Amino acid sequence: MNNNFKIVLKIIIVIVILLNLPFQKVFSENIENVAASLSATDVQKQQNGKSIYIYNTHQGEEYASQSVKEGSRYLMQLLQNKGYDVNYETTDFELYKTKNHIDYAYSYTVSKKYLNKALSKHGEYDLVIDFHRDSIKKSLSTITVDHKNYAKLMFVVGKGSEHYPAVKKRCEKLSSMLNQKIPKICRGVYIKQSHYNQGTTDNMMLIEVGANQNTFEEVQNSLNILALVLDEYLSA
């Protein structure tokens, strides 16, 4: 009786092992396939082929703490994390103007020089961003949603640019997308009788991110939303 029991027990153990081995193999293969799939997705995202150029015509513009240059670098990091090839202009425009005795009024002439150089070296970008901040009261440049402060955004379009229709259309679309994320986070599109280097390429946008009294945290909160919208826009 004991021997029969031992034999039956051994048979059961062998059957369980035989049944379990294929399952382990299939399970292991599935895990490897999922991991490979995720890696392929990451690689594809990193190689999406989209490129962005960011610069600050007025590099001396500052917030309550930090400057527009720090804001641009933060936006650059957000977009790089989403798989974009982002080039940020590091040339010191203010130093260049000082050394060459160029007045502040010619800031766009200086930034255009380096914009053209970037386009000549890289070729056409999918998006070119001239990053600024406004000079208005904080009550006008800030919005609070769910106890969180955001620096308001605004697009500026130059009517004197030959690419005016395309730039205006893009900025109106982005403004609408931003306000769908956070109502009234974007103050809309401000049309002015100038060009702001927007005749250089129709992939241009000039954006005012907050104002001089906004904290950098408020700026970052808004840039997080802006990066999401830009990704959706460029991926459409």
- Return the residue matching tokens 């070119």: 128
- Return the residue matching tokens 């009517």: 159
Q: Which CATH number fits domain 50-235: 3.30.9.10, 2.40.50.140, 3.90.180.10, 3.40.630.40?
A: 3.40.630.40
Confidence label for 167 from pLDDT (cuts 50, 70 and 90):
very high
Global pTM? 0.80
Report how far residue 167's alpha carbon sits from residue 159's, in angstroms, rounded to the nearest whole number: 10
Residues 18-31 have a mean pLDDT of 43
pLDDT at position 87 over 70:
yes
Residues 144-171 have a mean pLDDT of 96
Which of 4-18, 28-42, 118-132, 174-188 is least confident? Answer: 28-42
pLDDT at position 215 over 80:
yes
pLDDT for residue 20: 56
pLDDT for residue 58: 97
pLDDT for residue 49: 83
Q: Is the Cβ–Cβ distance between 160 and 200 less than 8 Å?
A: no
pLDDT for residue 32: 41
pLDDT at position 235 over 90:
yes
pLDDT for residue 202: 85
pLDDT at position 126 over 90:
yes
Sheet holding 51-55: strands in order across? 85-88, 51-55, 127-134, 204-211, 153-158, 186-192
Average model confidence (pLDDT) for the chain?
Answer: 86
pLDDT for residue 6: 53
Task: Indicate the domain borders of the chain.
Answer: 1-47, 50-235
pLDDT for residue 139: 96
Beta carbons within 10 angstroms of residue 106's beta carbon: 12
Report how far residue 112's alpha carbon sits from residue 105's, in angstroms, rounded to the nearest whole number: 13
pLDDT for residue 7: 54
pLDDT at position 43 over 90:
no
